[in-house]
């Protein structure tokens, strides 16, 4: 689990695990978009979401925030595909320079808007998760 979990994230993880029985790999509180993002083990996605989304709705009501549940993937490539589900990723290129890791993700021009999301919501989520789980300093779409 990431070392950057504060007391609020730990509380949210405990609540999530009590309600769902799913294993949480990470929890990110995104104040800008008023959401809590949970990254859970792939085999626990069904438990995490619940029947017809019941667990996600229950958590959203209790936390008074939007709840997003993301499936954890071991590899960077699989995690990027999970984060940008529905977007055709044509190429990924990880560059390391000056002790910084920059991930370039190529998507078709007509899918760039979906990859970025309204007000940058999707790309911001990807940047937060990839920074915490894979030590990526910057994610750029091209």
Collect all residues with Cβ–Cβ distance below 8 Å to 137 and sequence separation of at least 6. Answer: 100, 101, 102, 131
- CATH superfamily, region 7-71: K homology (KH) domain (3.30.300.20)
Edge-first strand listing for the sheet containing 91-97: 91-97, 100-106, 138-141
How much is the pLDDT for 1? 45
The whole-number pLDDT of residue 4 equals 76
CA distances to 10, 34, 35, 40 from 54, rounded to whole Å, are 22, 20, 17, 16
* pLDDT greater than 80 at residue 84: yes
Return the domain boundaries, the chain: 7-71, 76-141
CATH topology of domain 76-141: GMP Synthetase; Chain A, domain 3 (3.30.300)
Q: What is the mean pLDDT of the chain?
A: 94
The pLDDT value given to residue 3: 54
| Fold match, 7-71 / 76-141 | yes
């Amino acid at each position: 689990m990431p070392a950057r979990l504060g007391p609020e994230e730990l509380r949210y993880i405990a609540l999530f695990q009590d309600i769902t029985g799913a294993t949480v790999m990470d929890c990110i509180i995104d104040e800008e978009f008023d959401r809590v993002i949970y990254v859970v083990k792939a085999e626990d996605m069904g438990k995490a979401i619940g029947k017809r989304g019941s667990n996600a709705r229950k958590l959203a009501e209790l936390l008074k925030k939007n709840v997003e549940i993301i499936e954890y993937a071991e590899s960077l490539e699989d995690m990027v595909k999970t984060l940008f589900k529905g977007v055709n990723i044509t190429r990924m290129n990880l560059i390391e320079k000056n002790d910084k890791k920059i991930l370039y993700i190529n998507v078709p021009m007509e899918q760039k808007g979906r990859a970025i999301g309204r007000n940058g919501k999707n790309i911001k989520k990807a940047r937060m998760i990839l920074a915490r789980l894979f030590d990526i300093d910057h994610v750029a779409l091209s």
